[in-house]
């Protein structure tokens, strides 16, 4: 199996992009990644997208996006794993290069979510849950994560203020990211007084509806060295699933798919989690980041809330989590999130993250999950 490197990254500012179509958003970021890589051709492309059919009425993205990018007849595929579609696209591109099937692969993620009403967006996102046993009874993702939060608070003493501190931390990081949807700071008081969505979660505990795309270019590490590119290798990739319905889980406070995917990725990389310098994780809700830090092994079960309160996951802490601003501040165009996480890690490992740079970063990890953790992707990255 060949070593795989990321040699190009591309991303534009995320938000409510009323004047741009899905194809335009994707093409802009793909061209940026190709230019950054300095390549004149790609052998194949993989695109993560959760639900373009429901959001914009467009399927068959493999043809559409290759066409609009001007790259036909390149081999292209669209992959889906709910909100971890971008992470899955990255894994598939990694496998293709590592196996020798292709030398240069464009990996992208895209979602256009604001061209529908709030109710329609809620329905589209709800398809990532169990429709017969959860959706049928009116549960939405804020409601599902609220149940997870209540269970965590009851079992471990996690506080409402600790949840708020996750949002405050990530908005502070996001205020340093010019591509973030919400690049501004917030306060604990502001979170606690924001609109209640699903008790105990408030609107500032929730990631937003977002339009956006992200793209990276992969190639064999030997090729990257010959091109004299900064070499950031993907050294580990892990994927796992769990039951889609919360009612089928043994423990509402534990993300087993994230735990297993992380073990696989770290084992492939030959690393322990305390050797990683920064983490980009799936904070779709504040409770999600707390539970992910526990599942990754940054802290013991039940200590995720205290970790953020003690500054352990701050940008200058022992385990910096979401220096990009995370889904909470950067935004969450669901098909693109996993690819954008990789872009942040690459920028950090290249030393190109500006005011949010994690000092001395040489290794990073991304964690991207679908639904309430029904699927998870974890990747480990290392700079040479």
Catalytic residues: 83, 332
Nearest-5° angle of CA 349, CA 351, CA 354?
125
Asked if 39 and 104 touch (Cβ cutoff 8 Å), the reply is yes
Structure-block tokens of residue 310: 């003690």
Residue 215 C-alpha from the chain's centroid: 13
- DSSP secondary structure, 115-175, as one string: TS-HHHHHHHHHTTS-TTTTGGGT--HHHHHHHHHHHHHHHH---HHHHHHHHHHHHHHHT
Residue pair 49/78 in contact by the 8 Å Cβ criterion = yes
Distances in whole angstroms, Cα of residue 302 to Cα of each of 162, 250, 262, 291, 295: 12, 16, 18, 8, 10
Integer Cα distance of 327 and 282 in angstroms: 7
Please state the φ and ψ torsions of residue 261, each to the nearest 5 degrees: -60, -40
- Considering only CA atoms, which of 17, 72, 87, 77 is closest in space to residue 45? 77
């Amino acid at each position: 199996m060949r070593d795989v490197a990321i040699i190009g990254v591309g991303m534009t500012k995320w938000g409510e992009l009323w004047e741009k179509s899905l194809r335009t958003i994707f093409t802009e970021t793909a061209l940026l990644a190709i230019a950054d890589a300095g390549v004149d051709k790609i052998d194949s492309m993989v695109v993560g997208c959760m639900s373009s059919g429901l959001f914009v009425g467009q399927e068959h993205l493999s043809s559409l996006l290759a066409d609009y990018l001007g790259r036909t007849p390149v081999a292209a595929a669209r992959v889906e794993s709910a909100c971890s579609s971008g992470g899955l696209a990255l894994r598939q591109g990694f496998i293709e290069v590592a196996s020798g099937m292709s030398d240069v692969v464009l990996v992208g993620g895209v979602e256009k979510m604001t061209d529908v009403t709030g109710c329609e967006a809620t329905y589209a996102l709800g398809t990532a849950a169990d429709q017969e046993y959860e959706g049928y009874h009116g549960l939405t993702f804020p409601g599902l994560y609220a149940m997870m939060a209540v269970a965590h608070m009851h079992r471990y003493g996690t506080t409402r203020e600790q949840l708020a501190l996750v949002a405050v931390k990530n908005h502070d990081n996001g205020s340093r990211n010019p591509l973030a949807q919400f690049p501004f700071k917030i306060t604990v008081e502001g979170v606690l007084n924001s609109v209640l969505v699903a008790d105990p979660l408030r609107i500032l505990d929730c990631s937003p509806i977002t339009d956006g795309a992200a793209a990276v270019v992969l190639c064999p590490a030997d090729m990257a060295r010959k091109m004299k590119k900064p070499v950031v290798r993907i050294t580990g990739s892990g994927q796992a699933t769990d039951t889609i319905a919360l009612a089928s889980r043994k423990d509402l406070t534990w993300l087993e798919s994230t735990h297993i995917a992380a073990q696989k990725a770290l084992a492939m990389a030959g690393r322990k989690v305390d050797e990683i310098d920064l983490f980009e994780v799936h904070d779709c809700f504040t409770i999600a980041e707390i539970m992910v830090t526990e599942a990754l092994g940054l802290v013991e079960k039940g200590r995720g809330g205290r970790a953020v309160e003690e500054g352990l996951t701050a940008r200058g802490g022992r385990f910096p989590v979401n220096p990009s601003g995370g889904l909470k501040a950067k935004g969450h165009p669901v098909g693109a999130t996993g690819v954008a996480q990789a872009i942040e890690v690459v920028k950090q490992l290249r030393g190109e993250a500006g005011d949010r740079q994690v000092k001395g970063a040489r290794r990073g990890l991304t964690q991207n999950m679908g639904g309430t953790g029904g699927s998870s992707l974890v990747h480990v990255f290392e700079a040479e």
